[in-house]
Amino acid sequence: MYKVGVIGLGNIASRYSKPEDPYPYCHVGGIRLCESTELIAVSDLSDERIKEFKQVWGPAFPKDSIRYYKTSSEMLEKEFFDIVAICVRGPYHYEVTMEVIKSGKTRFIFLEKPMGCSLREVDEMTQSAEAKGIPIIVDYSRHWAPHLLRLQELVKNGLVGQVQSVIGYCGGGVLSFAIHTTDLICQFAGYDPISVCGYVQGHGGIVAEKYENEPSIIGAIIKYSSGVTGYHVGQHGTMTGFSVDVLGSEGSLRAGMYIGTVVKNKQGQVIDNSTLGLPENASVFKVAYQQIADYLDGGPLPHCAKNDYMAVNEIGFAVIESSITGKTIDIPTQNRNRLIFANG
Ligand SMILES: NC(=O)c1ccc[n+]([C@@H]2O[C@H](COP(=O)([O-])OP(=O)(O)OC[C@H]3O[C@@H](n4cnc5c(N)ncnc54)[C@H](O)[C@@H]3O)[C@@H](O)[C@H]2O)c1
């Protein structure tokens, strides 16, 4: 069993779900359901959050199996982990992640999105982790929905022929929220973006010392080296967030976290979903933790590791850079210092 520690006991760590949920949407629920991981310690600065966690989740774990700490520093001093999940807010990701890396007390980091507030932070976390041989994956959580993983594989193997365009739908903060759909577009288009033209709204003003406000996405066009074009639609009437249309030379796929899957052939006829081999539903967190455990067992890197999260972050920051400068941004983005208050 791989030992997991969680830093920050907020919504995504444990509060979005309860132990009885069959498909918990939170780290603790996924760690508990994954057969290869065990939760050994948690930390939160807030006594209230620790108290609530003990009440809600405590009875779901073996008695006295979890150790509680107020600060991440104290927890890292006393424990050794296979996996540390970093579930504090975006502006603290850099500081806490660097602390975890420097401590050398874990073999793997599962970091919440948004990875960092600037590309410089993303670069530094990546380089420091690499120097210590600690892989990071970033939690674009819906990526691990079992049916989306299966559809990703089918599309790669030609379900809609050669992919030509991927249209993703989701508004909201470019880095804190819409970034899930940036990842979803890449999940089907590939993780090889070369340029971005983006439009945002709500940018401007200093929100906290040093930081610029995080804008919302209006839209973006992403060019990939494969020749695929990605379109991020920020405002829409009927499509739910976290959904995509994948348009290929031989057909199309409509899929997402909260909509039914529709595959059409070149003639526009709907393909019977029972032919797709779509798997049973499962907690996306359980699936992600199982991928990490498989890696620690000697398997391949999990999804949303360096190559993937770098592409997604490059696109996210380039969308903002493009809108502010009025230019198409070639990737990698030159300006790595723009510091956005990505407080999701
Ligand atoms: N993947 C998703 O779908 C999803 C959904 C919601 C939030 N998130 C992300 O998860 C992260 C946390 O968001 P949230 O809504 O759960 O936040 P939250 O405010 O509910 O919880 C954060 C917790 O971290 C604690 N904390 C801060 N610094 C700490 C430290 N150094 N050591 C220990 N505890 C510390 C705080 O006391 C707080 O309880 C954000 O990056 C957010 O974007 C992801």
Residue nearest atom 5 of ligand 1, based on CA coordinates: 12
CA R_g for the chain: 20
- pLDDT confidence of residue 205: 67
Name the nearest CA neighbour of 41 among 91, 15, 10, 80. 80
Cα torsion 36, 40, 41, 42 to 10°: value is 40
Once rounded to an integer, what is the mean pLDDT over residues 289-317? 98
Residue-wise pLDDT for 240-274, tens only, equals 889 999 999 999 999 999 999 999 999 999 999 99
Cα torsion 73, 68, 177, 209 to 10°: value is -40
Once rounded to an integer, what is the mean pLDDT over residues 164-191? 97
Decide: 145 in ligand 1 pocket, CB within 6 A: no
- pLDDT confidence of residue 52: 98
Once rounded to an integer, what is the mean pLDDT over residues 93-113? 98
Residue-wise pLDDT for 180-204, tens only, equals 999 999 999 999 999 999 999 997 7
- pLDDT confidence of residue 204: 72
Domains of the chain (ranges, CATH numbers): 2-142 (3.40.50.720), 145-279+309-330 (3.30.360.10)
Decide: 9 in ligand 1 pocket, CB within 6 A: yes
Decide: 215 in ligand 1 pocket, CB within 6 A: no
Q: What is the mean pLDDT of the chain?
A: 97
Distance 290 CA to ligand 1 centre (A): 22
Distance 272 CA to ligand 1 centre (A): 41
Beta-ladder partners of 256: 243
Residue-wise pLDDT for 203-215, tens only, equals 776 688 889 999 9
The answer, yes or no, to whether residue 156 has pLDDT greater than 90, is: yes
Decide: 252 in ligand 1 pocket, CB within 6 A: no
Predicted TM-score (pTM) of the model is 0.97
Angle, helix 93-103 to helix 119-131, in steps of 10 degrees: 10
Question: Residues 308, 191: contact at Cβ < 8 Å?
Answer: yes
